[in-house]
Amino acid sequence: MNIPSKHLSGVDLDLLPVLDALLRRRNITHAGRDVGLSQPAMSRALGRLRHLFGDPLLVRQAGGFALTPKADRLAPQVAAALEQVGALFRDVSFDPAVEQRTIRLVAADAQTLLLMPEVMQRLSRAAPGIRLAVEGYGPETIDHMRQGRIDFTFALSSTSLPSGAESMVLGEDRLVLVTRRGHPLAAGPVTAEDYARFPHAVVAIFGDGQSEIDAALAARKLSRRIAISTPHFAAALAVVAATDYVTTMSEALARRFAGPFDLAMTPSPLAPQPLSITLVWNRIRSADPALIWFRDLLRDVADTVYRLPADQKTKA
């Protein structure tokens, strides 16, 4: 935290969780709720922190506060320091039944729809004091993980992970072409040329929907027409169910909603390789017993979600 050691004896260490909450929340009121302080008390604490670090730390802007460059550099150090200090006093034993905390995840609606119902059912029985807060992916996701503002996110095994990240494979999935059941392509088999014949509903979590599908089509001198781009997998399925559009997505998700939406799934000739679904977290969170317990719970749930039926395991 860049404070000379000769000054440490005069530093109020109670300010450490206050600083962590302020850097994570970027909101005095919300940070105060996290640490159990009123807004006036938080404002006074922020003043002391600004004096201690010789920096504004949080600067007011339209819609809230922004971190100064120094505060942005401090955020991961503060999170790591709190984790290490907490480990000194943390009981070796962990009892999920009495744990009171919030676990923060970044996920697409695919993971939320597939995993969260069973996860929450188990939490309600075994750990009713644990609350989940799920947010969508964004350009700030990696920074938020680095700063300790989120605990977990989901990725594919092929995704490049940032430094300091650890991961665990949750299960295996694959991409399939999804259509309404009466669609001309529903009976299969589907060719690359078929991809170019029908408009597509595309799920674009980060960008404009361009993907390995487009690259595979381009290699064959083909392209597809994107009729709708949405960040929501469920929306793409609903659109496909009502039109002659097609979409390419997780077989596990499509299988879950094939009945309600009356959908058909066809193996994709452009993305035949299986996908390893992984859970990602920052190394500074590795020793937290509550998060270790939650990782195991999530892996157990994912094992039932991403396990292909025996009669489908050999299909391309």
What is d(CA 249, CA 254) in angstroms, rounded to the nearest whole number?
7
- Amino acid type, 125: R
Which has the higher per-residue pLDDT, 158 or 167?
167
Q: How confident is the model at residue 135 (pLDDT cuts 50, 70, 90)?
A: very high
The pLDDT of 243-249, averaged and rounded, is: 95
Which has the higher per-residue pLDDT, 192 or 271?
192
pTM above 0.85, yes or no: no
| Residue 104 pLDDT greater than 90, yes or no | yes
Other CB atoms within a 10 A radius of the CB of residue 127 amount to 21
Q: How confident is the model at residue 259 (pLDDT cuts 50, 70, 90)?
A: very high
The pLDDT of 115-120, averaged and rounded, is: 97
The backbone torsions φ and ψ at residue 205, rounded to the nearest 5 degrees and listed phi first, read -80, -40
The backbone torsions φ and ψ at residue 306, rounded to the nearest 5 degrees and listed phi first, read -100, 10
| Residue 64 pLDDT greater than 90, yes or no | no
Work out whether the CA dihedral 56, 58, 60, 66 comes out positive or negative.
positive
| Residue 130 pLDDT greater than 80, yes or no | yes
Unique residue bearing structure tokens 């009123």: 38
Which has the higher per-residue pLDDT, 161 or 177?
177
| Residue 48 pLDDT greater than 50, yes or no | yes
The pLDDT of 32-36, averaged and rounded, is: 88
- Nearest Cα to Cα of residue 105 among 302, 303, 304, 276: 302
Q: How confident is the model at residue 142 (pLDDT cuts 50, 70, 90)?
A: confident
What is d(CA 287, CA 291) in angstroms, rounded to the nearest whole number?
8
In this structure, are residues 280 and 156 in contact, taking their beta carbons and an 8 Å threshold?
no
Q: How confident is the model at residue 9 (pLDDT cuts 50, 70, 90)?
A: low
The pLDDT of 242-262, averaged and rounded, is: 94
What is d(CA 218, CA 226) in angstroms, rounded to the nearest whole number?
14
Q: How confident is the model at residue 246 (pLDDT cuts 50, 70, 90)?
A: very high
Q: How confident is the model at residue 311 (pLDDT cuts 50, 70, 90)?
A: very low
In this structure, are residues 173 and 201 in contact, taking their beta carbons and an 8 Å threshold?
no
The pLDDT of 279-292, averaged and rounded, is: 90
Residue 307's pLDDT is 67
Least confident of 107-111, 244-248, 267-271: 267-271
What is d(CA 168, CA 299) in angstroms, rounded to the nearest whole number?
9
